[in-house]
Structure 1
Amino acid sequence: MKIGFIGTGRIAEACVRGLAGKGHDIYITERSGPISKHLASIIPEVQVLSVQQVVDMSETVCLALTQSVAEQILENVVFRKDQSVVSFMLGVNIARLHQMCAPAVDICITIPLPMIATGSCPLPVFPNSSALYKMYGNTNKVIILDSESALAPHFAATALVSTILSQLAVARAWLGEKTGSTTKAEAYLLSLMDGTFACLPKDGNGRISEALGSLATEGGLNAQLRKHMSEAGVEEALDGGLNILGTRLNI
């Protein structure tokens, strides 16, 4: 595929890295110059071009801009009807994207995260996009949403990552103190989580509940710690925090 990126921030960088070495021609814009130059220096199939040149050369154009600059940058850019457009901008809705990217009609919005560079990144998308599947579907879970309004709640849910990592940081400090090695403690905890999540089917059929049930043996360590955390209000705090994010995002 011939794939272009307008905007070259950290997420776009991760997306480009996730495509490297897979037979694509990749075109990126000059924005965020140091990132663009670095990608072109380490990935042979990457070329740095102007915004219009990126669009002219690409079958699929990925929009990795902030909402605040998108209108200005895309104002005079000419798209083609036969192009696909994949937007990473949640602040610009599908209707507006169709206006900005006309006459292109195959347009979707998705939410890539930094782990897309290595794979296993969930990609909620609306509407369905064959272009997104072709680019990332082999190594990442593409989740087709039922409505555009479902995008923002999925974006809010990404905030869970730092919350989970902060709990792992507490556990690392505890385990490191008890064993004398925070290095081995961190390696163990990350491997523990990786193995736990890797073995769960990603089909959405109640696997989280199944896993919790398997760890709920009365008197077991998992059950005891979870009971303590629940009684301390951790689960209620999480629900409340997600609701605060929902208010912020007008969900």
Structure 2
Amino acid sequence: MIAKDLQSGVERLGELIASAKTIVPFTGAGISTECGIPDFRSPGGIWTKQRPIPYDEFVSSQEARNESWKRRFAMEETWAAARPGRGHRALASLYRAGKVPGVITQNIDNLHQSSGIDATDVIELHGNTTYARCIGCAKRYEIDWVREKFNNGGGLAPSCPACDDPIKTATISFGEAMPEVPMQRATELAQDCDLMLAIGSSLVVWPAAGFPLLAKRSGAKLAIINIQPTDQDDLADLVIRFDIGETLGPFVGN
């Protein structure tokens, strides 16, 4: 069912939420655009303006690492200023009500955690850009530390003092292996829910896009909230192609 208007879509969504015992949101970039974070993939998005740096290139090239960190620091004010939007807050309300055991997200912005969902219940398939890790020993580094080393080093991306391997934002790049534990947890959540909410995702990035399909095939209802059509719309029980904040705003609790 494709909602013909926002009101009927919100009403049907409310019915699905009310009747569901276990709801698992699956979120993509669209839920964060009202927070000032630009989309990567959509027309006019970041990747239409600059080529993403693959993982093997980051590992093998100091120049690529320098450019990667230069881009990250150029976005620092955007990441730092972002606050949870209506979509994040609505999901946090459902979480507090005991309906949402965890959120599966493709996003790297930390906004689900900021909305009040415990970090252990935010399943980050593509990592998190608000801190960094050594790709060798996995030691954590804060962004401020990396920036200081970068600036003091004349624009050279620093290596790990402990093992001398490159330091990278704690995100998953193209060509990098998906994180095993989050993938397993996401699989379990998708198989055990009775309603999955796919919100703000183009559903074209695999293997992440397989989780709504898995939930549907495991017997769950599937609602897709995305301003643009997706390849999974035909499988969904409800499709809402309206603004995410306006759609989920009515579900923001106290």
Q: TM-score range by the shorter chain?
A: 0.3 to 0.5
- Mark the structure with the bigger radius of gyration: 1
TM-score if structure 1 supplies the norm length?
A: 0.35
